[in-house]
Homo-oligomer: A and B are copies of this chain.
């Protein structure tokens, strides 16, 4: 079933067009990878899905993004609610300068959870969900900034899980990490897709083939091709895609 349907999406930074007539549907409880050379609009596209682009002045968006059939850019759409449903993990781990516990409890708290016991539970479940619990359970009230990069990134994932979103957006979540952390996070993604609809941007084609069900190839703000991952990497329909994945450029 299609969880997200994007139709005729154009996005402009001021005069400059960064996305050009994108049409793409993303299936529920699957992983979609976005690949393409730097500057092709992957992050821009991702951020259009939870309206993070609203924060940037002079952005103009045309077309539609429907989640469960509802247009998220409709005037009566509630952006705060939307972002609760659509969680996001960023390229560089960005924990708050608070304790590990407070980082994970942050989301539930702002959404009104005050019961201490309930919070404890949520924090534990989320950290377990992000395969971090065992490593941090003895230092929950230490600063999150003392964690390693890979741990921080898993903390950020736990923080998102704690608000129980339906969709997970991940923008190059492993690009700042070492190989071992990367492997852990890739394993985590494979687990999470049983519960969440995941869209992941990566510059690493190997990663895309390892974790994703479908892959979309972007080039210069356009969606060149989208297909089942194994097909796209072995029998791409377009010449441009073949050039890119065979390493002709990028």
Contact = CB atoms under 8 A, between A and B. Distances in A.
A250 B204 contact: yes
A38 B177 contact: yes
Interface residues of A, number: 23
Contacts of A97: none
Interface string A10-28: 0000000000000000000
B206 A247 contact: yes
Contacts of A210: 247
Interface stretch (A1-9, A115-123, A178-186): A178-186
A236 interface: no
Contacts of A94: none
Interface centre among A175, A178, A179, A209 (most CB of B within 10 A): A179
Nearest to A249: B179
Nearest to A179: B249
Contacts of A248: 206
Nearest to A245: B206
A247 B249 CA distance: 18
Contacts of A177: 38-39
A178 B37 contact: yes
21 contacts: A37-B178, A37-B179, A37-B182, A38-B175, A38-B176, A38-B177, A38-B178, A39-B149, A39-B177, A179-B249, A179-B250, A180-B249, A182-B249, A182-B250, A183-B249, A204-B247, A204-B250, A206-B247, A206-B248, A207-B247, A210-B247
